Structure 1
Amino acid sequence: MGRRHAATDPTYPRWIWYAAAALVALLILGGAFVLQTLIYPDRSGGGSAGNGNTPSATEPLEQDSPAGVAGSPPCISLNILTSLENAEMVRALAAAYTAKPRSVDSKCVTPAVTQEKTGVAARKVAGQFPGVPAGDRPAIWLPDSSAWLRIAGEGAGGGPVPQEGTSLARSAIVVAMPETMAKALGWDSKPPSWSEVFRMAEDRDVWERLGHGDWGKFKFGKASPLVSTSGLMALAASYGAAGGSPGGLDDMDLDAPSLVEKVRAVELGTSHYMATPEHFLWHAREADDAGKVSEFLSAVIVDEKSVWDYNRGVVSEDGITKHPGPAPKEPLTAIYPQDGVHVADNPAVILDGDWVGSQQRLAAQDFIAFAVTEQGQNVVMASGYRTIQGKVDTGVADTGRYAQTLQPLPLPRREALVSMQDSFPDVRKRARALFLLDVSESMVQEPGVTKLQRAKDAVQKALGHFTGEDEIGLAAFSHVGDGPLQPGIVSPVAPFKTNKDDLLNKLNGLQAVDATPLFEAVSRFSGDQAKDYKDTFINTIVLLSDGKNDTTHPGDLNGLSQQLSHQNHSTPVLVFTLAYGPDADVPTLLEIARASGAHYYDATDPNRLEEVLGELVTSF
């Protein structure tokens, strides 16, 4: 007799059929769950610390539930500290939140958003905001990555900074390239691995071999890992590539000499560092406006939202003030390396400081709850981010060249993140820097501590950024009448470990002379740096001036700009300019920096000189 089948044989009890069907369904669902876990090991976006309750892409978000009537004044002041990168999104969330009536403990709520470089904010949080009045301290900290929650460690109120926040948005850390360059390498259709990205950065003659010699050297930029999330994740990618496992940093001995040496080799491909990714994109846009973005940029590691901003014509010189304009002539392409990308998860945490009162805590909870509703996530999408469910606006994705899906890398543990940051002075590409100081008479024409003395003090402190293997020198410029440039080279560029004492002694001995031969000084010393160009160093001049060019010697700004642009093609000497004092010739210093591919810094308020110069030296 043939075998009976439960589904068709009426002699089988019906419950057996139902049980079998249920078992099959469970096996199918279980298999699908395992498969999803293998493909998408972290739905929250790259192993970043989150609240553990991230809804799936198909699960409906909660709806916003504003109050029927707004609470009574005085409103609860809700201070929110964000990063430079996500500040616009957070302000848009705050505007959407207050557009509806809110009532927390029967009070209305007034959010106030401030922004700061993420690494700087992390240090302030960890130090409990020294010198900041309690009423001005934030209740919510919203960096652009959970990495900074981990790095901040001990923090507000003597207790730990919360190590897990509520993720509000996603933005992948990508390699951004001018579109024609990405196509020339074939990376627009076949993404490289991280190792291939770094090998390409080391190959400075690649454009010549591919028939694009007019593009010059391969210029690869990274932001500082001490300040920026994209810079920190770029360093993590360097370690991952050097160690053969971009997602396995927690299992590596990051202090192993052999690994550190490999990371040093990877970092040699960096053309130069800048404090923030906004600096790179600002200068890329300047180069694009001049008709040749390749003169400044081949590739830079940034967050994908910044690519969207750039491609729609929005850039920022300082990361704070956004400058909208027409779209660039050549858009950037976002490259997602095939072995995965880190994802900035924009976590919101309520700080545990004693300055956060019960009402502020309730208001903070209410704001964060709004941000993850459907209405809040619509604001996130409109701001250029992926939602917590991974959704992205179609128009944003098209403009920013976003990948449809992400392959997220796990966020390293705190110990690994701190270890990588601590290693940066050791593994970063070395600098070959000449400090060039204006010592004209105006530098001493003020009572009390003169501008010249403040400049000496600031330079002396900035020298603490360098290590013995950097090559540092000092020059100064002025002249009397139509006389020669003086004093000229004060301490020649040499390894810092051998010339530090001489440099400091000569720096302290500088005296003011008379006039300001700005063009002559920059032309001569940038030319000398180009003649002695070293490809394994970041070749640069740090120019500090408080006045205008007043020389009678031949030469003008146009000729100087042409010289610097020509040098930048094959022997780039970055002239970072710092306007010191209210009479500094800002337009001229801006042009000198632009032509050389460097950044201009504003210290027209002399009290900010030390702070600004400290930020400047993170650029190499």
Structure 2
Amino acid sequence: MRRGARSAKGYTMSRRANLAAALLVLSLLAAACIPGGDGDDPGTDTAAEGEFTDTDPGDCVTVDIAVSSEKIDLMNDLAREFNDAGEEVDGQCIFVRPLRKASGSAATLLAEGWDEELEGPRPVIWSPAGSAWGGVLNQQLIDAGQAPIAPTDFEPFMLTPLVIAMPEPMAEALGYPEEPIGWNDLLELSQNPEGWAAFGHPEWGPFRLGKTNPNFSTSGLAALIAQYYALAGKTRGLTGEDISRADVVENARTIESAVVHYGDTTLTFLNNWYRNDVRGTALTYASAVAIEEVSLINYNRGNPDGVIEPGEEVVPPRIPLVAIYPEEGTLFSDNPFFVLEDAEWVDADEVAAARVFTDFVQRPENQERVLEFGFRPGNIEVPIADPIIAENGVDPAQPTTTLEVPDPGVLVDLIDQWGRTRKAAQVLLVLDVSGSMADFASDDGSRETKLDLATRAATTALEQFIDDDIVGLRTFSTDIAIADDGQPLDYLDVVPLGPVRQNEQALQQALAGLFPVAGTPLYTVTRDSFADIVEVYDPTRINAVVLLTDGVNDDPRNSDLGGLLTFLEEQARGETAAQVRVFPIGYGRDADFNVLEQIAVATNATSYDASDPRSIDQVFTAVISNF
């Protein structure tokens, strides 16, 4: 029996509890409206993961490098070798220090302000996954009346093309490998109401596409560019007029309608694909996902997240993926080395030292090492070799057509256009309002609570949902309200599901007076929230629950984690529930991250770590990028 409430009407509460519940739920809606995430590079990158721990021996010219996540391990190794070799500039030693930083996140920080206390040192070299990010950064700076800082001449460090990854049986149903396949074929699949039944496989269901958010994801941005080139029938010179044509916009909207959900990183799709492969349901999770070639190689090797932990057993999937190089053309992630010599914080010695390191990584022996990680060498003198081979589902002779990166203004227009054509969402935002939300967010003496930080994030978040999105807000805490029959309620819907803009003004006015209440009935609210979205499932939308909690389940009336996970997994086998996902956020160090990960896995979603409450802005950015 549910102990939650579908509506605030008909319940008697103390005046204090009523105000707390209402205002705290409203804060979650605002906080969860930040867009973004990162595709190939998780949007919540910090120095803690993949951290470079070597220290400057003293009085060296330090070259800080902001590096996209897919190459941080290799870059750390090269930096250590370089530092140990004793390279100098004008008789002074050089110390290279890589910092893992998502491509899109770094672009935003470089454009809007880089907080070194939170983000680490500002870079001398910026190496995003793709050079298109340099154009995006420069355009943002120009629009803000500032001078561009990303150079237009640079050395690519390593290469990997964007591909459309498909399970091999699905690709073969479309004629692979004899027949070329491209974005226009995906358009036809998206328009076909029969789905895979049109190709003799009704058991695979409708065509389901996975894409990442182009605001922060390199693969998402590259896929968006390639998609619009294909729909416009061009390979070069994409213009604002091209992407605004009525037929192009309508066809783009049709392709987006097939999206399962978006995502901050392609690893979300690959990890879920791999788990479904183990369950025998890989062909009903997703039909195609736009990823980089290197990620497909890692997947087929049995390493979907690209990281092999000590003692981890690598087991190739039962159904491998194959790389479709779109016949209309594709783009490369070229991993540029942008030496930011025009940035105000970079001096001449740092520029000279950065160029010494740039030359070092271009040496043939170092370029050969990129192959170990599944990339193609940036130095064309180094030949392509294993693992870029057919046995791994890829073709070293492809792609035959490389698309031109559009002008920066068109890139910005493309991202804006995507915001108008992306698939709409129906999202229930669920906020833990237990007493621990009153804890201080850090021990730096600021005396800000976790709730304070969430409130501040909320004030700038609401506008990031599109007008057509449907959003509902729920708070939960033990005995948060009393029903008319005297029974305690563990959650309360203060803002029912509805168009987000209808609630905007009330939300903004309500954010000033938030305070926490009691305990954490995590299992009850998760089960019921999932079931409630299943009840109102809309196949034309992305349907999801975003669940933020800062603690563990402490509800003595429901401690059945096994029952919750079984329920979610059984429901996820159904056609409707399989498309409803729970995205948990662990907020603060006391959150039960292991349980939250299990909840996400059970619903083919992903969990997010905001153990440092100061990162909540970035985490919400990553979460909301799924919609």
Match of 1:367 among 357, 360, 378: 357
Q: Give the partner amino acid of 2:462.
A: L
75-84 vs 454-463, greater mean Cα deviation: 454-463
Matched residue, 2:44: none
Kindly report which structure 2 residues correspond to 1:333-412, keeping only aligned pairs within 5 A, or say none: 333-352=322-341, 353-388=343-378, 389=380, 391-398=383-390, 400-405=392-397, 406-407=399-400, 408-412=402-406
Kindly report which structure 2 residues correspond to 1:573-592, keeping only aligned pairs within 5 A, or say none: 573-592=580-599
445-454 vs 98-107, greater mean Cα deviation: 445-454
Q: Please state whether the residue corresponding to 2:158 is helix, strand or coil.
A: coil
Matched residue, 2:287: 298
Match of 1:327 among 309, 312, 315: 315
Matched residue, 1:140: 125
* Distance of aligned partners of 1:557 and 1:108 in 2 relative to their CA distance in 1, 3 Å threshold: same
* Distance of aligned partners of 1:372 and 1:280 in 2 relative to their CA distance in 1, 3 Å threshold: same
Match of 1:430 among 424, 438, 459: 424
Match of 1:85 among 39, 46, 70: 70
368-377 vs 123-132, greater mean Cα deviation: 123-132
Please say if 1:277 is aligned against 2:266.
yes
Q: Distance in 1 between matches of 2:240 and 2:112?
A: 30
Deviations 1:304-346 (A, max 9, x none): 11112222233449x9999964033233221111121111122
Matched residue, 1:12: none
Q: Give the partner amino acid of 2:179.
A: K
- Distance apart, 1:217 and its partner CA: 4.4
89-98 vs 584-593, greater mean Cα deviation: 89-98
Match of 1:612 among 601, 604, 619: 619
Please say if 1:418 is aligned against 2:412.
yes
Q: Please state whether the residue corresponding to 2:123 is helix, strand or coil.
A: coil
Q: Distance in 2 between matches of 1:534 and 1:545?
A: 26
Q: Give the partner amino acid of 2:362.
A: V
* Distance of aligned partners of 1:507 and 1:517 in 2 relative to their CA distance in 1, 3 Å threshold: farther
Maintained 8 Å contact 2:521/2:558: no
Greater RCO, CA 8 A, separation 6+: 2
Deviations 1:78-108 (A, max 9, x none): 2222212333343344345456553432333
Which sections of structure 2, spanning at least 5 residues, go unmatched? 1-56, 442-446
Please say if 1:443 is aligned against 2:443.
no
Q: Please state whether the residue corresponding to 1:274 is helix, strand or coil.
A: coil
* Distance of aligned partners of 1:218 and 1:259 in 2 relative to their CA distance in 1, 3 Å threshold: closer
Maintained 8 Å contact 1:384/1:393: no
Matched residue, 2:489: 485
TM-score by structure 1 length?
Answer: 0.79
Please say if 1:167 is aligned against 2:152.
no
Q: Distance in 2 between matches of 1:350 and 1:596?
A: 43
Please say if 1:597 is aligned against 2:604.
yes
- Distance apart, 1:600 and its partner CA: 0.4
Matched residue, 2:22: none
Matched residue, 1:538: 542
Q: Give the partner amino acid of 1:383.
A: F
- Distance apart, 1:117 and its partner CA: 1.1
110-119 vs 508-517, greater mean Cα deviation: 508-517
Q: Give the partner amino acid of 1:140.
A: I
249-258 vs 190-199, greater mean Cα deviation: 249-258
Deviations 1:277-310 (A, max 9, x none): 2232233333334443345333211111111222
Q: Distance in 2 between matches of 1:575 and 1:460?
A: 24
* Distance of aligned partners of 1:216 and 1:159 in 2 relative to their CA distance in 1, 3 Å threshold: closer
Maintained 8 Å contact 2:173/2:199: yes
Which sections of structure 1, spanning at least 5 residues, go unmatched? 1-71
Maintained 8 Å contact 1:439/1:478: yes
Q: Distance in 1 between matches of 2:559 and 2:185?
A: 44
Matched residue, 1:52: none
Q: Please state whether the residue corresponding to 2:70 is helix, strand or coil.
A: coil
* Distance of aligned partners of 1:582 and 1:365 in 2 relative to their CA distance in 1, 3 Å threshold: closer
Q: Give the partner amino acid of 1:224.
A: N
Instruction: Name the Cα RMSD after superposition.
Output: 3.4
**Matched pairs, number:** 548
Kindly report which structure 2 residues correspond to 1:465-504, keeping only aligned pairs within 5 A, or say none: 465-480=464-479, 483-502=487-506
Matched residue, 2:562: 558
Match of 2:249 among 245, 253, 260: 260
Matched residue, 2:14: none
Q: Distance in 1 between matches of 2:567 and 2:312?
A: 30
199-208 vs 597-606, greater mean Cα deviation: 199-208
Q: Distance in 1 between matches of 2:119 and 2:275?
A: 41
Q: Please state whether the residue corresponding to 2:239 is helix, strand or coil.
A: helix
Q: Distance in 2 between matches of 1:254 and 1:467?
A: 19
Deviations 1:499-533 (A, max 9, x none): 33455567777765534332222222221211211
Matched residue, 1:28: none
Maintained 8 Å contact 1:381/1:393: yes
Q: Give the partner amino acid of 2:464.
A: H
- Distance apart, 1:228 and its partner CA: 1.4
Matched residue, 1:5: none
Maintained 8 Å contact 2:64/2:123: yes
Q: Distance in 1 between matches of 2:466 and 2:233?
A: 28
Q: Distance in 1 between matches of 2:234 and 2:280?
A: 39
334-343 vs 356-365, greater mean Cα deviation: 356-365
Matched residue, 1:123: 108
- Distance apart, 1:212 and its partner CA: 4.8
Larger radius of gyration: 1
Q: Please state whether the residue corresponding to 2:473 is helix, strand or coil.
A: strand
Q: Distance in 1 between matches of 2:251 and 2:387?
A: 41
- Distance apart, 1:369 and its partner CA: 2.0
Matched residue, 2:521: 517
Matched residue, 1:11: none
Q: Distance in 1 between matches of 2:362 and 2:233?
A: 37
Maintained 8 Å contact 2:232/2:242: no
Matched residue, 1:63: none
Deviations 1:246-287 (A, max 9, x none): 545237443445543432222111111111222322333333
Maintained 8 Å contact 1:285/1:328: no
Q: Give the partner amino acid of 2:544.
A: T
Maintained 8 Å contact 2:534/2:580: yes
* Distance of aligned partners of 1:180 and 1:510 in 2 relative to their CA distance in 1, 3 Å threshold: farther
Kindly report which structure 2 residues correspond to 1:99-114, keeping only aligned pairs within 5 A, or say none: 100=85, 102-114=87-99
Matched residue, 2:27: none
Q: Distance in 1 between matches of 2:362 and 2:394?
A: 22
Matched residue, 2:38: none
Deviations 1:376-413 (A, max 9, x none): 32123333222232832223434542212222112112
Please say if 1:200 is aligned against 2:189.
yes
Q: Distance in 1 between matches of 2:128 and 2:212?
A: 16
Q: Percent identity?
A: 33
Q: Please state whether the residue corresponding to 1:491 is helix, strand or coil.
A: strand
Matched residue, 1:226: 215
* Distance of aligned partners of 1:570 and 1:511 in 2 relative to their CA distance in 1, 3 Å threshold: farther
